[in-house]
């Protein structure tokens, strides 16, 4: 039986629930894997010798800063056995509000175990069978899934020729809708709109369809290097039913710790809070977040390193003759001029795991998250082998 590395890696559950878990592999000693007549075991050895570079999930390859890790370790040592409820419920929203500025107070911040919960709450609060969801296509898909679950329709507005969200088209589609989901920067196209454009969009929708809510998802905004791309928090403070979702999963490197939040007027936050369970943020996460907010240099370094890795990777694709969008994020959206599935399978065969399909662009474009510089140097070699042959 011939067994490709790809099929085997899949069976190991890289990126999905598989028959064998990665810890299971890591738990095996190298010695036990030295020699075997079993072809399955032989592939297993190969897969442990060359680690898969996982650049599929828009994660932060560098993880949280040292201050965040130190804060968690200290808390474990001091007394993690206590509830310390005030840390997550009071100190964290206060720290977030102070850090964001714009005159925000803790009343304007609603925390959740990941910003995904805020998105779910937003759809559940404002979308219904009679009030559709408006989303870009392609854009982040979780609001669409929630809308489908509750039997609501979705007005999908294709991105424009530069793969930017079509704000005019979305404003038209917003008339009579329950909620517009505006992902800025947009996942997966990596493009972003200026604060001036987003403000004009919000004002237009509020004028033409006052009851339509607007969710601006800023999961990747820390990585935006275009100076005109800024948070829409001031807009959320100015209008009812306009809210911004942010996360500590990306720029702050805390995806596994699960922390996100919404910023808005208290009355808007009350509707989100009533619509969906937002979880219970634990004290390790809260302490890591507060320490991160108090360490602005680490975020500056993270942005700068991401920009360096992004420039390197973009240039490599350009040199190979392949177009990428103007990424304002920690991933690239590349016109690989072949189905994403073919490119993905070829990359996985060579130990690099890139993003899934993003309809309606899955016949031409692949999403590639940015890892460390070292990972991207190795990944680019693989991309060269695939795209230049």
Cβ-closest residue to ligand PLP? Answer: 114
* Out of 165, 183, 366, 368, the residue judged to bind ligand PLP by CB under 6 A: 183
Is 114 near ligand PLP (CB under 6 A)?
Answer: yes
**Contact yes or no for 267/108 (Cβ under 8 A):** no
Residue 85 to residue 311: CA distance in whole angstroms: 43
By rule CB under 6 A, what string of x and - marks binding of each residue 213-242 to ligand PLP?
Answer: ----x-x-----------------------
Q: Residue 19 CB, nearest distance to ligand PLP (Å)? A: 26
Q: Residue 200 CB, nearest distance to ligand PLP (Å)? A: 22
Residue 18 to residue 63: CA distance in whole angstroms: 25
Q: Which stretch binds ligand PLP (CB under 6 A): 6-14, 25-33, 108-116, 310-318?
A: 108-116
Q: Which stretch binds ligand PLP (CB under 6 A): 98-106, 110-118, 310-318, 375-383?
A: 110-118
Residue 110 to residue 87: CA distance in whole angstroms: 14
Q: What is the CA radius of gyration of the chain?
A: 22
| Between 58 and 268, CB nearer to ligand PLP | 58
Interface positions, 126-145, toward ligand PLP (CB under 6 A): 140
Is 330 near ligand PLP (CB under 6 A)?
Answer: no
Residue 110 to residue 352: CA distance in whole angstroms: 37
Is 371 near ligand PLP (CB under 6 A)?
Answer: no
List Cβ neighbours of 347 (8 Å cut-off, separation of 6 or more).
Answer: 353, 354, 379, 382, 383, 386
C-beta pairs of 68-76 under 8 Å, 24+ apart in sequence: 68/252, 68/253, 68/254, 68/288, 68/289, 68/291, 68/292, 68/295, 69/288, 70/291, 71/287, 71/288, 71/290, 71/291, 72/284, 72/287, 72/288, 74/287, 75/283, 75/284, 75/287, 76/284
Is 58 near ligand PLP (CB under 6 A)?
Answer: yes
* Out of 260, 351, 355, 371, the residue judged to bind ligand PLP by CB under 6 A: 260
Q: Residue 115 CB, nearest distance to ligand PLP (Å)? A: 3
The residue count for binding ligand PLP (CB under 6 A) is: 13
Q: Residue 294 CB, nearest distance to ligand PLP (Å)? A: 21
Q: Which stretch binds ligand PLP (CB under 6 A): 77-85, 112-120, 189-197, 235-243?
A: 112-120
Q: Residue 367 CB, nearest distance to ligand PLP (Å)? A: 10
Q: Residue 71 CB, nearest distance to ligand PLP (Å)? A: 20
Residue 145 to residue 35: CA distance in whole angstroms: 47
Is 253 near ligand PLP (CB under 6 A)?
Answer: no
Residue 214 to residue 201: CA distance in whole angstroms: 10
* Out of 56, 60, 108, 115, the residue judged to bind ligand PLP by CB under 6 A: 115
| Between 58 and 350, CB nearer to ligand PLP | 58
Residue in 144, 221, 139, 204 with CA at minimum distance from that of residue 179: 144
Binding site for ligand PLP (CB under 6 A): 58, 114-116, 140, 183, 187, 217, 219, 247, 249, 255, 260
């Amino acid at each position: 039986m011939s067994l490709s590395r790809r099929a085997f890696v899949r069976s190991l559950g890289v990126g999905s629930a598989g028959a064998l878990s990665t810890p299971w592999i890591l738990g095996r000693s190298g010695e036990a894997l030295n020699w075997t007549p079993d072809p399955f075991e032989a592939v297993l050895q190969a897969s442990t010798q060359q680690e898969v570079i996982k650049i599929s999930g828009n994660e932060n390859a560098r993880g949280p800063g040292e201050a965040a890790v130190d804060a968690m370790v200290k808390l474990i040592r001091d007394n993690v056995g206590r509830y310390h409820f005030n840390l997550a419920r009071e100190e964290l929203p206060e720290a977030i509000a102070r850090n964001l500025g714009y005159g925000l107070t803790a009343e304007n911040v609603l925390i959740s175990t990941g910003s995904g919960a805020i998105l779910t709450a937003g759809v559940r609060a404002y979308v219904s069978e009679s009030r559709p969801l408006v989303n870009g296509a392609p854009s982040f898909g979780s609001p669409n899934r929630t809308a489908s679950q509750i039997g609501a329709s979705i007005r999908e507005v294709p991105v424009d020729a530069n793969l930017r969200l079509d704000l005019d088209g979305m404003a038209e589609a917003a008339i009579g809708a329950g909620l517009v989901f505006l992902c800025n920067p947009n996942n997966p196209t990596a493009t972003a709109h200026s604060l001036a454009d987003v403000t004009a969009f919000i004002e237009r929708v509020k004028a033409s369809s006052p009851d339509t809510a607007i969710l601006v998802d800023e999961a990747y905004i820390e990585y935006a290097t275009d100076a005109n791309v800024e948070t829409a928090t001031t807009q959320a403070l100015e209008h009812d039913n306009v809210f911004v979702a942010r996360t500590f999963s990306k720029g702050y490197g805390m995806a596994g710790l699960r922390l996100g939040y919404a910023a808005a007027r208290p009355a808007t936050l009350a509707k989100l809070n009533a619509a969906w369970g937002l979880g219970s943020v634990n004290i390790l996460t809260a302490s890591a977040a507060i320490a991160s907010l108090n360490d602005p240099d680490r975020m500056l370094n993270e942005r700068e390193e991401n920009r360096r890795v992004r420039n390197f990777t973009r240039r490599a694709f350009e040199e190979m003759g392949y177009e990428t969008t103007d990424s304002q994020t920690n991933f690239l959206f590349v016109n690989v001029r072949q189905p994403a599935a073919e490119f993905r399978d070829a990359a996985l065969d060579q130990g690099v795991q890139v993003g899934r399909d993003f309809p309606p662009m899955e016949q031409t474009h692949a999403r590639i998250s940015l890892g460390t510089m070292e990972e991207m140097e190795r990944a680019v070699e693989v991309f060269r082998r695939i795209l230049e042959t």
